[in-house]
Structure 1
Amino acid sequence: MSLFITFEGGEAAGKSTQIRLLRAALERRGLDCIATREPGGSPAAEAMRAVLLDPDLPLAPEAELLLVFAARADHLAATVLPALDRGVIVLCDRFADSTLAYQGFGVQADARTRTLIDELTARLPRQPDLTFVLNVSPGTAAERLRHRGGTTDRYETRDAAFHARVRAGFLAIAAAHPARCVRIDADAPAEAVHDAILSVVSTRTGHKRG
């Protein structure tokens, strides 16, 4: 069965961990699935990701937004749609909701830019069937980022007010799309978060837990 599942949330929400756990659980049940990400997920989109996340490379807001959608268009064409056509479950770390949360709410885009985001999103050839919005508190996110270490990207270097707006954006998106979005408490331990996610996916796929 084909199913397009996206994972959304702010920095250090645990999306990659939950995708890894869910993929393993689904494969144990004999279901074919792939894990991918945005920006990225195809050779061309990965090259665009490097530009988008480089904190030392200034980007005009309009260029940043259009580059996000350019990467998404190639990712869909090269990776997501072919997999769905084969009946594969696609697990994607970020999708269009992140664009609205970051390039819309985070940067406090004007009405014209918000409209452009909505229009470009509506023109996408496929929307997610199910979205998990991992809601992590600022304190938990900051602690996880400290433990993660390493280099920081364009978005991780933004101030606390920016990340607060992004978090509010994700919560607003989840509230506006209750049929698609499931809000998950991402402050909980990883296994508890996984159990909550797997319970929802089990219902969608018709597989019992266990």
Structure 2
Amino acid sequence: GGSPAAEAMRAVLLDPDLPLAPEAELLLVFAARADHLAATVLPALDRGVIVLCDRFADSTLAYQGFGVQADARTRTLIDELTARLPRQPDLTFVLNVSPGTAAERLRHRGGTTDRYETRDAAFHARVRAGFLAIAAAHPARCVRIDADAPAEAVHDAILSVVSTRTGHKRG
């Protein structure tokens, strides 16, 4: 989990009943990320802990850049804010999943849907294209995983990459 402030901001971001202007959404994402980094991630890294995040700056570019079809000025702002973050990921997994598989897994999960999950198929196609473009632009850091595979195969593929990159053997 993130810091209390970051989680509160995230709750606003995900609430489909709270409409946000695109600029407000973008700045709130970065505010939550900055607080999460300062309060949670950086102290853990200073202690030598390996930190895993399920979303980071690539998600911002994919969702707030590609997904909402941001203009060039906004994409530049995303790049500038990302560059100002005190730490960047060492390794990023891009889980490449088809829209059909993603929709089926969302249905199977059940529960409520958030602001992003309720967006139309075109939005999700742009987000996916964004993630794939990011992975292509950063091949040393980004590893694409076929997430249409069964969950156990996705899990094993991720563990294999982590094992190779860190030298830690699974066991």
TM-score (norm 2): 0.97
Per-residue CA deviation, residues 50-105 of structure 1 (Å, 9 max, x unaligned), is: 11011011100000000000000000000000000000000111000000000000
- The equivalent residue for 1:17 is none
In the alignment, what sits opposite 1:161?
A: 122
CA–CA distance in structure 1, aligned partners of residues 11 and 100 of structure 2: 28
Distance 1:158 1:209 in 2: 38
- Matched-pair identity in %: 100
List runs of 5+ in structure 1 lacking aligned partners: 1-39
Tell me, in whole angstroms, the C-alpha distance in 2 between the residues paired with 1:79 and 1:58: 28
Identify the structure with the greater helix proportion. 2
Shift of 1:109: 0.2
Measure how far apart 1:208 and its partner are: 2.7
The CA distance in 2 between the partners of 1:194 and 1:55, in whole Å, is: 30
Superimposed CA distance per residue, residues 122-173 of structure 1 (whole angstroms, 9 cap, x where no aligned partner):
0100000000000110110111111122211110110000000000000000
Q: Deviations over 1:3-31 (max 9, x none)?
A: xxxxxxxxxxxxxxxxxxxxxxxxxxxxx
CA deviation after TM superposition for structure 1 residue 182, in Å: 0.2
Distance across 2 between alignment mates of 1:196 and 1:126: 25
SS of equivalent residue, structure 1 residue 68: helix
Per-residue CA distance 1:31-61 (angstroms, 9 max, x = gap): xxxxxxxxx6110001101110110111000
- 1:114 & 1:206 partners in 2: Cα distance? 36
Q: Among residues 39, 63, 67, which one is paired with 2:24 in the alignment?
A: 63
d(CA) in 2 for partners of 1:208 and 1:116? 40
The one of the two structures with greater contact order (alpha-carbon pairs below 8 A, sep at least 6) is 1
How much has 1:205 moved relative to structure 2?
A: 1.6
SS at match of 2:35: helix
How far apart are the structure 1 equivalents of 2:48 and 2:167? 15
Q: How many residues align?
A: 171
Q: Distance in 2 between matches of 1:72 and 1:122?
A: 13
Q: CA deviation at 1:110?
A: 0.2
Q: Distance in 2 between matches of 1:208 and 1:72?
A: 31
Q: For structure 2, which runs of at least 5 residues remain unmatched after alignment?
A: none
Question: Which structure has greater strand proportion?
Answer: 1
TM-score by length of 1: 0.80
CA distance in 2: counterparts of 1:74 and 1:204, whole angstroms: 28
Find the counterpart in structure 2 of residue 111 from structure 1.
72
TM-superposed deviation, 1:194? 1.4
In the TM superposition, structure 1's runs of 4+ consecutive aligned residues that sit over 6 Å from their partners are: none
Once residues 167 and 125 of structure 2 are traced to their aligned partners in structure 1, the CA distance between those partners, rounded to angstroms, is 37
The separation in 2 between residues aligned to 1:148 and 1:201, in whole angstroms, is 26
Report the secondary structure of 2:19's partner residue: coil
